[in-house]
Structure 1
Amino acid sequence: MYPLIIGLLLFAGTLAQNQPAPQQTPAQQTDTQQAATAPPTKVGNETCLTCHDIGADFSHTPHAKQECEACHGPGSVHADTGGEDKSVSFKAHPPKWANQQCMACHGNDPEVSDFFKAAHGRNGLACNSCHEIHPSDVRFGLLKTKEVNLCIGCHQTAKADFLKPFHHPVLEGAMKCSDCHSPHEENLRPMMRRAAGSAQACVSCHSDKRGPFVFEHVPVRVNNCESCHRPHGAINERLLRRNEVHMLCLECHSLTPNVLTAQPPAFHDIRSPRFRECTTCHRQIHGSNADPAFLK
């Protein structure tokens, strides 16, 4: 008899375990559960500022006229869950999502509109990697820190070049990376600001080399300044790629005949030191209006 009773009790317990749990009515659901299933709505800046001190100094920034939710999206779920829902945080989304929020307004700016096609955009760099959205200390462009520090934080090779004996004075603050490069567009790689090529970036400062000249030096006009010079820094004077000028010239003006460049005249014995300083005679090597051999 007892085994039968025990068996019935065990069977009844098994049935009870297999019964589905009763569904909660909306009134029985917690606020957190309801917030998680309800479509998000806007709550207004005042609600955001009750927790987020980061927006306290927002009024003096260029974004002051924008609502928090214009960029972050409706915040009701975030607020109702006590911050547990992170969907309004840029950190909770991939860089492309964050960039799209920025481009909703800044996409009409011609300097920014091609960002997704440029190297930074293609490689998944987020706008807020370099820019502060609501800073307490407003810098030009809302940059997080000095421009050069942002750039060399990733571009370590350029930093090393700027530390060489002869370099453009970027680390010293006399120039900025953006004088030559555009971080948001790519008219010409590597993100050069001047669409016509790197030579145009150079002659914006080195105006005496601009031309046009009656007698053009082919490397300057065709291959740009980087045929002979390094753009950031070098161990050689004038940022030259070679430590001896004649070795640089011989890269094109070799003793081997070619159809593009002239051979040195027969009396140029390059074994003699006399003929190793090409620029002693050929002084206008960037181009001349008077002499096809760039003698003056």
Structure 2
Amino acid sequence: MDNKHLHKIFKLAIEAKEESFVNFIVNQRKPLPTLKRNNYLWQFADVYTAKSDSLSDFISIKTFDNTTGSLRRESMRKVVLVLTIFLVSCFLLLFAAFMQKSAEANSGYVGVDTCKGCHEDKYDSYAKSIHSKKAVPNSPANREGCESCHGEGGAHVEKGGGRGTGIFNFGPKLSAKEKSAKCLGCHEDTKYLAFWNMGKHKAEDVSCDNCHSIHSGGDKFLIAGKSETCYRCHRDIKAMGNKQSHHPIKEGKVSCTDCHDPHGEFSRAMIKADSVNELCYKCHADKRGPFMWEHPPVEENCLTCHNPHGSNHDRLLVMKTPQLCQQCHDGAYHPGTPYTQFQSFTPPAKGTNPATQLVGRACLNCHNDVHGTNGPSAYGQRFLK
């Protein structure tokens, strides 16, 4: 008798609850070596020989599946259902407790409309800002409005307003750390503040409200324009920007934040690059190289020759040529060039010999590839065109 016929007979025996055939199956386990150990006949025999209360217990626990020939536990469905009901009940209880706690915590809040009654001008600018928009997910400002920054207003209203009534007013008596902590409560995980803790602004007690005001309603809540906000503290840089040669900041083509990150960077100047040269190359890529003939000062630092904030010399140079060139090339003899009257020699310890200084020459008239060149050796090594 093959397995297929055994399946049919066994199913009929179970349905008829035929105890004698059950005993037969149990006794025939050993003569049926072709059946795998996990076959339902073996499983049935295991249950039966374990002295279950009755055959009906086994039948209720395991049912035969004609399609797959496997057994499944009907009771698992009940277990899953009970667990689901239990978990949902726990969630509802926790949610109810959270809502109750939230309501108790917010008992001192009076709402935006109450604040608007006295501070209508502040409310109007706040209403135009992104802080007031419901589209910002999980923003405390959406739930608590003005009080998300200024704290609970209950005591403030009861005492008829005024200072010293529990309102966080961002006043001068508060430290930069205290004021910034209010903003960082929501904004500390943003990409813009990744390096805030290592930045120069935090180290020098600059707080968020020195540059931003949520009541301004302007771009990024800045107190003034992008560069004008920086100039409130960096007035010397603003003066340099008015010199003859300058980056087009006042023309509105670039701003301070194109080069500097006010929220912190690794460098002291908080530039948006690993080095000064890499920052300059973002716009001046033609000066990057590599070149066959490199100019060492260019490789070292662009600031050796240029002042990025402004200069009264062409091309943001720190001084006029040829004096700039002669800061390094001060002792070189140049054929065919007039010198001072005496060709005397002064020991290096006593300074540069005035007799060897070039007179009235513009080095860049000939050496105009000072940033580097790929020209042939006769010209390239001297940065000639």
Structure 2 length-normalised TM? 0.58
| Distance (Å, rounded) in 1 between the aligned partners of 2:202 and 2:336 | 52
Deviations 1:177-225 (A, max 9, x none): 111111111332322122x222222222222112233332221221x21
Which residue does 1:62 correspond to in 2? 130
Q: Does 1:226 align with 2:303?
A: yes
1:286 to 337, 355, 371: 371
Question: How far is the alpha carbon of 1:236 from its aligned partner?
Answer: 0.9
| Distance (Å, rounded) in 2 between the aligned partners of 1:103 and 1:271 | 64
Q: Which moved more, 1:75-84 or 1:179-188?
A: 75-84
User: RMSD across aligned C-alpha pairs, in angstroms?
Assistant: 2.6
Please tell me the residue identity of whatever aligns with 2:264.
E
Which residue does 2:37 correspond to in 1? none
In structure 2, the CA distance between the partners of 1:94 and 1:105, relative to structure 1 (3 Å rule), is same
Pairs within 5 Å for 1:8-87: 41-53=108-120, 54-64=122-132, 65=134, 66=141, 67-84=145-162, 85-87=165-167
| Distance (Å, rounded) in 2 between the aligned partners of 1:192 and 1:164 | 22
Which residue does 2:312 correspond to in 1? 235
Q: Percent identity?
A: 35
Please tell me the residue identity of whatever aligns with 2:322.
H
Q: For CA contacts below 8 A with separation 6 or more, give which structure has more relative contact order.
A: 1
| Distance (Å, rounded) in 2 between the aligned partners of 1:270 and 1:152 | 47
Please tell me the residue identity of whatever aligns with 2:296.
V
8 Å Cα contact 1:75-1:88 kept in structure 2? no
Q: Does 1:127 align with 2:208?
A: yes
Pairs within 5 Å for 1:38-187: 41-53=108-120, 54-64=122-132, 65=134, 66=141, 67-84=145-162, 85-91=165-171, 93-135=174-216, 138-187=217-266
Which residue does 2:74 correspond to in 1? none
In structure 2, the CA distance between the partners of 1:82 and 1:199, relative to structure 1 (3 Å rule), is same
The total of aligned residue pairs comes to 245
8 Å Cα contact 2:151-2:166 kept in structure 1? no
Deviations 1:154-188 (A, max 9, x none): 21211211121222221222221111111111332
Pairs within 5 Å for 1:175-254: 175-194=254-273, 196-222=274-300, 224-243=301-320, 245-254=321-330
Deviations 1:81-109 (A, max 9, x none): 22241532122522211111111222222
Question: How far is the alpha carbon of 1:270 from its aligned partner?
Answer: 6.8
Question: How far is the alpha carbon of 1:127 from its aligned partner?
Answer: 1.3
Question: How far is the alpha carbon of 1:228 from its aligned partner?
Answer: 0.4
| Distance (Å, rounded) in 1 between the aligned partners of 2:177 and 2:209 | 11
| Distance (Å, rounded) in 2 between the aligned partners of 1:110 and 1:253 | 46
Structure 1 length-normalised TM? 0.73
8 Å Cα contact 1:40-1:75 kept in structure 2? no
8 Å Cα contact 1:40-1:77 kept in structure 2? no
Bigger proportion of residues as helix: 2
Gaps of 5+ in 1: 1-38, 256-263
| Distance (Å, rounded) in 1 between the aligned partners of 2:175 and 2:233 | 19
